Amino acid sequence: MNRVKRQLAPYFLVLPGGLWLLLFFAIPMIAMLSLSLQQGDVVYGYRFTFHWQNYTDAITGYHDQLIRSLIYAGIGTMLLIALAFPVAYWIAFYGGRRKPTYLFLLLLPFFVSFVLRTISWRQILTDDGPVLHPLKQIGVLPDSYHLLGTPMAVIGGLVYNFLPFMVLPIYVALERIDPRVVEASRDLYASPALSFRKVILPLALPGVFAGVLMSFVPMASDYVNSEVLGSQSTTMIGQVIQHKYLQTSDYPTAAALSFILMAVLLVGIFAYARALGTEDVMKVAAR
């Protein structure tokens, strides 16, 4: 009796939470899939008719925004890797006892709401704000120059908001590197640059992979940064989806767009994992 109870214990523990996730994570996906294949009108009702045209309409209408989102996210991710790696490297190898403090400082922005952070940036980057005004005064920039509304501002916002998501995974991977391995490479006459390229970098790759996953996906589906810092020429697919759900009540197209976005992101992730070689990743992760 006790053994049966003990065997059933995990199921009882998991049941409430698991049910919640099933009901409110898995099933909504099905509802969204269903909605994407319906046609009709918000007033007169929608009927499920396997209306694949929603998908074709969505792609023909909004492929520009989808591609633009992927490009912004791609550029953003590359910038993130370039920006985050040195920070993670320094904290991991030179942080010493103050490592937790540095990590904490990096996470500081998350104590302020996402929306508030981005709006603060908008305030800083206005046409005659504290950043642009002095530059215009000394003549570095023309008077009509504006940063807000450009892709640069949007990508800047994306990079800002997702930096910790890239620093932390890389940091964790770097921190796990046994310093004796690096020492050994030096003992074998490798220059610092060589030991970095051949020893540290490959060991850090799983961290980079995790960081890319945790930043590319949310960046591609973001809409706040473009809404606050951009203009209609920077419209991202997230804005279109949000617009169709919350402003025009066009649920089927919006649901179709969401699925298209998910599919594209999943394909991207799998391709990326393939390219990087999931075997190595697994081995390092198992350590």
State which residue, 123 or 140, has the beta carbon closest to another protein.
Answer: 123
5 versus 180: smaller Cβ distance to another protein? 5
Q: How far is the CB of 140 from another protein (least distance, A)?
A: 20
Residue with Cβ nearer another protein (68 or 76): 68
CB of 181 to another protein, least distance (A): 17
Given the structure tokens 């023909």, which residue do they identify?
Answer: 60
Q: What is the smallest separation between the CB atom of 244 and another protein, expressed in angstroms?
A: 9
Report the 10 Å Cβ neighbour count for 74.
16
For another protein, the closer of residues 200 and 241 by Cβ is 241
Contacts of 49 (CB under 8 A, 6+ apart): 37, 38, 39
Q: How far is the CB of 73 from another protein (least distance, A)?
A: 11
Residue 26 vs 138, nearer CB to another protein:
26
Closest approach, Cβ 166 to another protein, in A, equals: 11
Residue 41 beta carbon to another protein: minimum distance, rounded to whole angstroms: 5
How near is the Cβ of 217 to another protein at its closest, in Å?
6
Specify the residue, 75 or 176, whose C-beta has the smaller distance to another protein: 176
DSSP type of residue 5: H
How do beta strands 45-48 and 38-41 pair? antiparallel
Question: DSSP state, 46?
Answer: E
Distance between CA 222 and CA 261 in Å, rounded? Answer: 11
Q: Which amino acid is at 92?
A: A
Nearer to another protein, 137 or 247 (CB): 247
CA distances to 81, 154, 160 from 205, in Å: 11, 27, 22
The dihedrals phi and psi of 45, each to the nearest 5 degrees, come to 95, 155
Contacts (Cβ under 8 Å, ≥6 apart) of 207: 88, 169, 170, 171, 172, 173, 174
Please, what's the b/e burial string for 192-217 (b: 16 or more CB within 10 A of its CB; e: otherwise)? Answer: eeebeeebbeebbbbbbbbbbbbbbb
